[in-house]
Structure 1
């Protein structure tokens, strides 16, 4: 079985499917050993319309794109089916396939789906649908499995609402428990250790010192993601929200706040610490701006290094952060902290948000952290409190095997 081609481009490169009906790429059609189902073009159009409806939420778009891509590739290339034919038993077969996809469907490095060649977007031959760390076997985590059920259920509900299908086959899976495990206690929060964060921010400062025209921006991005618990989508311009310098605002008591719009299109104010305010001053001065924003200032928050305006792609922010992570990982290895370096190699941008929340919840009232983080309830914030877990381990530390 050949490795599949990518189906959906980035949000920035994806045309409006209602104005410009999407077309399956000739590369994809040529790579198939047998013809795709007759209704594959309709399947692709419905999936594109569903995805495009999330264009105001880049993180959701990216997560849904991944899951739909996996499902459509399995449906066409492995099962030889189309959307109207999918039944409960097919979804169960898909889950089993996802647990152990073919080796040539699994990649060990993150690469873009499409490349620019002579003004055209072409499929990247190195791209693979499933990812694993280098030299590590692929495994499907419980969170990834839960995401599959969640995204597919949303997609099939959409098709039912649009009168494309009569019923949602995900809802007919009565025993999801055989796939999804219930976990006692709270999930472990994926975050940086104190050592890792110290090295990461130190590397960001070094990069800003060595190449200020590029990396003063890097230092500010790292500071904002950690100190204000921002999601990566809250730093980029979208149809929903354009982050500007004027969204840093001072109240009548002289306190600074940052206004943003996050998950669920919810607006919130984030309290700005003294350190974050110093980071803002430094960043603005490096750009030739006044030390602090003026009321209503429309200057883009995260500027492009080339051209005008602000960054519009979460991929660019992820790239900025990854360069800093890579440098910190190398530094940890040089210093002999191999275990810390190896764990840092697994880190993603979102770990910075988790790290900032986890540190603050040790010292600040959880309600204050909850509101700054934009959590819907204190129960979500409680997941970041490690006191009970640490105490449980401490009480077991001297438990003897041989009394």
Structure 2
């Protein structure tokens, strides 16, 4: 009789409860020690290395969360299922792990994201409802009442790519620490059996002109009903579209607190907005005249001077209640989603059913994509690249779809039966 697979056990807490491993040696929980099928010494060494590696990414909460997810899954598989320490991992183990991630046991899959640990009696305890893998449904299907199903779990190509990328970075770190003699991920010569290659650039998901128009109209119509709520919403969507900001660049974090003082005027009278984006990279975004009008409007509503003064520390997106700026990206998502919902209702009322249905799938990030896509039509791509914070022009080129449209236009009148007349 086959021995049942053990239940998953959370290993690494969130960043706010993640102690410096160079000062405090991490200790495995009693559950982890009981389920681990490796020597106690190996377990302690592996745990120390994992903590040191993850701690080095504490500068970005999003990056830390991504790396924690992949390292945690991998260590659970190694320790609890295979009885492997990090020093024993080879190429065939990485391949087996990837195959495991593509089809994990049902009791390792959840239908919602929950915290790994929770507070109980002044201590952090493991949450038994947490699972390493989560089955999800699309935003549109969720709105239609469809629930996530464990049987429908599917690991996306981007998720597979993340496994290879993060594990390779991890083993390069272990090489530098002289804990392993090789990077088993780099030894895999045929990643193509796991990862599909795509010919041409992927389609950028963005709002149509009609959808964006109705989002703005919906907010404007709602302003008289609740100015405090919708003036802020209008400024948020303006920042996301007009300056290509990511949602993480609007919310306050330990490493970045966006303020009105981040809008500055240079010696030529041009306005710029300074932000800190992915990879903790600071960049200056050129502020258009239209964006400057949005800023003036929002500041007038807040009772501030028409334009920011040098060194002004007022938060960019202030909380409705309390002091300081918004710290939750989830709250910003909720605000923008409410605007999308209002626009969907307007489109349906106007009989634009297809536009309304398509808007149901939109996310906050689509506003950034939409702003970039509109600007590459008229602005030099290098200018858009630098404002968007793209690492190369090749990324910006993905937003240029003129060739794609021309390709489709040339194919429109192709015939299946060449003897048929037009």
TM-score scaled by length of structure 2: 0.81
The structure-2 alpha-carbon separation of the partners of 1:376 and 1:400, relative to structure 1 and needing over 3 Å to count, comes to same
1:212-252 Cα deviation digits (max 9, x unpaired): 55554444333212211122332344454432221101123
CA distance in 2, matches of 1:139, 1:377: 31
Q: Residue 382 of structure 2: SS of its match in structure 1? A: helix
Q: Residue 308 of structure 2: SS of its match in structure 1? A: coil
Q: Over aligned residue pairs, what C-alpha RMSD do you find?
A: 3.2
- Show the counterpart of 1:40: 43
In the alignment, structure 1 residue 14 sits paired with structure 2 residue 18: yes
Structure 2 residue aligned with 1:395, among 398, 410, 413?
410
- Show the counterpart of 1:319: 331
In the alignment, structure 1 residue 332 sits paired with structure 2 residue 344: yes
Aligned ranges 1:225-264 → 2 under 5 Å: 225-238=240-253, 240-264=255-279
Q: Which runs of 5+ in 1 are unaligned?
A: none
Contact 1:9–1:114 under 8 Å retained in 2 = yes
Q: Residue 270 of structure 1: SS of its match in structure 2? A: strand
Query: What is the Cα deviation at residue 72 of structure 1?
Result: 2.2
CA distance in 1, matches of 2:50, 2:219: 40
1:293-324 Cα deviation digits (max 9, x unpaired): 10111223233445543445xxx113321453
Contact 1:6–1:123 under 8 Å retained in 2 = yes
CA distance in 2, matches of 1:160, 1:167: 7
- Show the counterpart of 1:77: 80
Structure 1 residue aligned with 2:401, among 378, 386, 390?
386
1:106-144 Cα deviation digits (max 9, x unpaired): 334444444455655554554433332145733222222
Q: Which runs of 5+ in 2 are unaligned?
A: 138-146
Aligned ranges 1:354-365 → 2 under 5 Å: 354-365=369-380
TM-score scaled by length of structure 1: 0.85
Query: What is the Cα deviation at residue 287 of structure 1?
Result: 3.6
- Show the counterpart of 1:62: 65
65-74 or 300-309, which deviates more: 300-309
Q: Residue 258 of structure 1: SS of its match in structure 2? A: strand
302-311 or 261-270, which deviates more: 302-311
Q: Residue 170 of structure 1: SS of its match in structure 2? A: coil
Larger radius of gyration between Structure 1 and Structure 2: 2
205-214 or 190-199, which deviates more: 205-214
